Chains A and B, each alone.
Chain A
Amino acid sequence: MLQLHDVTKLYGSGAAQVRALDGVSLSVDAGSLVAVMGPSGSGKSTLLTIAGSLEEPTSGDVVVGGSPLASMSVDERARLRRRSIGFVFQDFNLLPGLTAAENVALPLELDGTRPRAARQMAIEALEGLGLDTEADRFPDQLSGGERQRVAIARAVVGDRRLLLADEPSGALDSANGEAVMRLVLAACRRGVAAVVVTHDAQLASWADRVVFIRDGRIVDGTVPPPSPEALLQAAPEP
């Protein structure tokens, strides 16, 4: 579903140049959950944004669902995000002014689905997450966990086949964090490929594969982790 081949990303120029990603290659199959771990500034989020077509790599190829991003225009990449990629962010996920159902329906409507049909699909997605009673509430009327679940519903609604989550449980307590990961895993079980960036080894243990990244390079890909605590011990020294 997602392939990155020798992807490099440079920011800035001259002495101020930063190598955020350095020859990263990664493949995520449909139905699998990959956790990306690493210290701050290691390039985890950059990996996610490049995989999700929010940024372009300086070099290397990114292929989503068999389509190379390099050959796509800005509008084509936007269409790809509407149809195939779902994002979940840490603390900023829902648009103010739109209800939970409208937030979930938004990518569908942006893609041309009629409002009534889009709302129906959104309600169904929310029902699947146990949030159907919250469909008409605004983001500021929802708890943090509810907001994140709505964000996941939005990320998987429609024909989305790639879910990219950047610290989805970062702003949640452990119970809500686990609930979120359970939802992500459930989506994977239905064939969605997911990449989750997390600092939390406990949550990473839910993944089929954990990728360690440091200074822009993948330093290890552990399959599968024996336990969350062991993951940190298994990480190699720089």
Chain B
Amino acid sequence: MTVPSGPVPVAARPNHGGAAARRAVRRWSWRLFRLEWRQQLLVLALVVVAVAATTVGATVAVGAQVPADTGFGTAHDMATLSGTPGHVAAEEAALRHRVGRVDMITNEQQRVPGSTDTYDLRAQDPGGPFGSPMLALRSGRFPAHPGEVALTPGLAAELHLHPGDTWHDGTATRRVVGLVVNPQNLVDAFALVVPGSVTTPTSVTVLFDAPLSVVGALTVPVSVVGRGVYANVLNPETIVLALATLGMLLIALVAVGGFTVLAQRRLRSLGLLASLGASRRHVAMVVRANGAAVGVAGAVGGFVLGLAAWLAARPMVENSAHHVIGVWALPWAVVVPAMALAVVATWAASARPARAVARVPVVDALAGRPAPPAPVHRTALPGLVTLVIAFFLFGASGAAAGQGGGMPEMVLGLVVLVAAIVLLAPLCLSVLGAVARRAPVGMRLALRDLARYRSRAGAALAAITLGVLIATIVAVAAAARYGNSLDYVGPNLATNQLVLSPAPVGVPAPDATKGGPGSPLGLPGPPPGPTPAQVRAEDAAMATSAHQLATQFGSGTTALELDGSSATLVHTGPGRTFTGTVYVATPQLLQAFGIAPSTIDPAADVLTSRPGLSGVSGLRLVAGEDSPIAGPGPIGAPPGSDGHPSCSPPSCLAHPVIQEVAALPTGTAAPNVVLTEHAVRILHLHPTAAAWLVQAPQPLTAAQVSAARLAAGAAGLQVETKNDEPTGATIIDGATIFGIVLALGVLAMAVGLLRSETAGDLRTLAATGASTRSRRVIVATTAGALAAVGAVVGTAAGYLAVAGWLRSNRLDGLSALTSVPLANLLVILVGLPVLAAAGGWLVAGRRPSGLARPVTA
């Protein structure tokens, strides 16, 4: 055997081995990761899911937004011309003279025969200098001469036309040569013809690029693309990135436990490495490199999964967003930081186990003996100080929320709050040690182990606490918001209801950023208003139409007339203002909801289903066309002694008597606040039909709603159906389930870790005659105790965060906390520990896995 000497002189070698040593350590760590990736599956899966969710979530959120350049093509400026053809031609010539190159799109709005739907007959050059991104062929070709037309797929279907067919549109006959879409607006229904084929345009859109100074000097109205679209920091990218950061923080807390166990599994290998001359830095690097490897693998896997999910969801998202979204139109500014966050989170999570394992004496490590738990003399002071800082940060956020800000303070507050939880969690475990003194032996052992192995159990507890914290914040905040009886939020109607109301008079002016180039901007205003007699006749006709429409939904369907008046409620106190429509409690309305007149207080002015409205002070019932919708402020009368305008009948009724009637509907568009005849008399009101509430015996189908819209449109009515707004209970229940599932997931791993670390104790117990039941007690107690402490601390911290925010919030205040989601909090505080303990009891029936066995060669 030869013993060759190294080619590098000893004195020249770096103290810690330099790059060669780092490479060797990383190589081994990577090999170990490949060998033992199954043991890290939970953390890996969490990272994959988090990155995938961030990728697909951010892509959908950003892609679903209306692009700032919708309707502009590639131009930066858009002018809309109107008037006679001669006037339009003159303006176009002047514009061309001032700005140079232009792209003209001419539209003539037409009605689909036999339908209320409209489309644009559009003359546009597919190869125009600016408008070409607003045209894409789906099949066939673009029209080449005046006798040809290309239709959007929806319009073609509605007209029952296909490429090759001949289309008679009443004035001209054209051959359909292709199907086209506007990629920037997929609901843009139009028939494309060659430029010059539209002779009586409804609107003319001119796209061009010009310096701002030139644009400012133009006499025609000009829109400029993308001004201030992303000025709000609360854009989807920011929100998704904030959520991803929070998620990664959670994953990091879970991962700390995973990497601790992994380091323990490799203790003998690491000891051997140290015996070969590896420094502590090298030993720690093995664990850290593993953490980074998990992060990299998770980030790449998550990105691939997210991309696949995006590709699968893309057609649906495009249909929903009504515009084409590119395959690679990913928000890289979110995706790349999220991937980097995943690596940083797992790397940071491995730092503490790495440091701990590097400090284990080499001989102990070689023997596979973990370092004995060090007594913790940590003071609660840093954690409490951090908690106080978080509280004040939430306060600052709540104060700034009134001015439209507060997001940076809130994010910082959340981060500081998480830090406080991480600092305080191990100390909470020491309480368990004290509780253990009088407990039976199995429970005592479990609780003492929790207190002894705080470094690992503390991380798990922090993760559980964070899950509960998020759930509590969402639940309490939702309860506070949905519990506000003034600014009422929630679903508008039940699934079996719809509201018919008169359609607005005149043609609405579409939003230039939402409509296509066919937006009829600059149209002349509506004609002069009808006479009172005409109004009465129209009301009667609409009432008849409403009742006829109700009969289409089958027997048992009713159309309840909702009478409105000029009166509304006004909140003069601090906080939120009253929102919603105040109808009149007609005898028919009371009867429809089964309210006996005898149950109504004769002195009541208002009936409501909004819980808590009767207890709100500072309310006024104000009548008249000029009723203010805000609180303090002039309403045409001199101020009273309280600084608010004076209030006296018949124009105003201070402190109206409000009676809560649970039988009234709760939807925001339903009559949830109604005036009594008493109030109508005092305020000299003259109620008129404002809407009709149609209630069917069964939930309305999509076909029924579609048919109702068609019929209503023909009768000059508009339809409001149930929206997608969630109820407060939906949000609170969802948050509760999320918190519990997350906590149980963390527990599933944490308890596995504990079992692996205390496997020796379990063997000793078994040797002394302990049965399976003892093992069940130990695991169940461990899981239950961790869940209980996490639930209590998470709930308390969540309340603290919300209270800190509400404390200084101008709109809500601490009184909002009176809406307590009691059942959900009880489920978290009691149900979670019980579930955890039961789960622990069940899984403990199996023999402990070989997790505690070291890796040997």
Contact = CB atoms under 8 A, between A and B. Distances in A.
Do A and B come from the same complex? yes
A13 to B, nearest CB: 13
A78 B17 CA distance: 11
How many chain A residues sit at the interface, stated as a range, is: 35 or more
A81 B277 contact: yes
Given A92-B857, A183-B1, A115 B279 contact: no
Contacts of A85: 277
Contacts of A212: none
Contacts of B282: 110
Interface in B327-385: 361-363, 366
B1 A125 contact: yes
B23 A87 contact: no
A210 interface: no
A94 interface: yes
B17 A112 contact: yes
A139 B857 contact: yes
B555 interface: no
Interface string A63-90: 0000000000011001111110101010
A49 B363 contact: yes
A176 interface: no
Q: Which of A111, A140, A186, A192 has the most CB of B within 10 A?
A: A111
B24 A109 contact: yes
A85 B10 CA distance: 14
A178 interface: no
A54 B277 CA distance: 10
B277 A83 contact: yes
B28 A97 contact: yes
A139 B28 CA distance: 13
B39 to A, nearest CB: 13
A52 interface: yes
Given A89-B366, A112-B18, A186 B277 contact: no
A127 B32 CA distance: 27
A114 B8 contact: yes
B3 A111 contact: no
Interface of B is mostly: helix
Given A97-B28, A112-B8, A112-B17, A154 B363 contact: no
Contact of B276 (A92, A112, A154, A192): A154
Interface string A87-129: 1010111111110001001111111111101100100110111
B278 interface: yes
Contacts of B10: 83, 159
Interface stretch (B267-275, B429-437, B574-582, B777-785): B267-275
Interface string A21-63: 0000000000000000000000000000100101100000000
B24 A106 contact: yes
Contacts of B3: 125, 128, 156-158, 160, 187, 190, 192
B598 interface: no
Contact of A96 (B6, B24, B35, B276): B35
Interface in B4-37: 4-8, 10, 13-18, 20-21, 23-25, 27-28, 31-32, 34-35
B856 interface: yes
B37 to A, nearest CB: 12
Interface in B234-283: 268-269, 272-282
B18 A79 contact: no
A154 B277 CA distance: 12
Contacts of B273: 95, 106
Query: SS class of chain A's interface: helix, strand, loop or mixed?
Result: helix
A160 B6 CA distance: 11
B13 A113 contact: yes
A190 B2 CA distance: 9
A136 to B, nearest CB: 13
A214 interface: no
A209 interface: no
A147 interface: yes
A207 to B, nearest CB: 19
B587 to A, nearest CB: 84
B17 A55 contact: no
Contact of A117 (B1, B8, B31): B8
Contacts of A92: 268, 272, 366, 856-857
B275 A109 contact: no
A54 B362 CA distance: 6
Contacts of B24: 105-106, 109-110, 115
B272 A124 contact: no
Contacts of B21: 109-112
Contact of A159 (B5, B20, B31): B5
Nearest to B365: A54
A125 B6 CA distance: 12
B361 A93 contact: no
A75 B7 CA distance: 23
B23 to A, nearest CB: 7
Given A93-B857, A95-B273, A125 B32 contact: no
Contacts of A140: 857
A79 B276 CA distance: 9
Contact of A187 (B1, B14, B15, B269): B1
B31 A125 contact: no
A112 B363 contact: no
B143 to A, nearest CB: 67
A235 to B, nearest CB: 27
Contacts of A49: 362-363
A187 to B, nearest CB: 7
Query: In this complex, which of A112, A115, A118, A157 has the most chain B Cβ atoms within 10 angstroms of its Cβ?
Result: A112
Interface string A135-147: 0000110000001
Given A81-B275, A158-B6, A113 B28 contact: no
A110 B366 contact: no
B28 A114 contact: no
Given A75-B16, A112-B18, A96 B1 contact: no
B855 interface: yes
B2 A124 contact: yes
Nearest to A186: B1
Contacts of A113: 6-8, 13, 20
Given A55-B363, A159-B5, A110 B276 contact: yes
A96 B18 CA distance: 23
B1 A112 contact: no
A82 B2 CA distance: 18
A112 B279 contact: no
Given A97-B28, A128-B1, A78 B8 contact: no
Nearest to A192: B3
A82 B28 CA distance: 17
Interface string B28-71: 10011011000000000000000000000000000000000000
A102 B29 CA distance: 13
Contacts of B277: 78-83, 85, 107, 110-111
Contacts of B366: 54, 89, 92
Contacts of B32: 96-97
Contact of B857 (A82, A102, A129, A147): A147
B790 to A, nearest CB: 36
B676 to A, nearest CB: 81
Given A110-B277, A147-B857, A54 B363 contact: yes
A109 B20 CA distance: 5
Contact of B31 (A74, A98, A186): A98
The 7 A-B pairs of least Cβ separation, nearest first, read A128-B1, A82-B277, A97-B31, A139-B857, A81-B277, A109-B24, A112-B13
15 contacts: A74-B280, A78-B277, A78-B279, A79-B277, A80-B277, A92-B268, A98-B28, A102-B27, A109-B20, A109-B21, A111-B20, A113-B8, A125-B4, A159-B6, A160-B3
Given A55-B363, A97-B31, 8 more contacts: A82-B17, A92-B272, A98-B28, A106-B276, A113-B13, A114-B8, A154-B276, A159-B6
Interface of A: 49, 52, 54-55, 74-75, 78-83, 85, 87, 89, 91-98, 102, 105-115, 117-118, 121, 124-125, 127-129, 139-140, 147, 153-154, 156-160, 183, 186-187, 190, 192
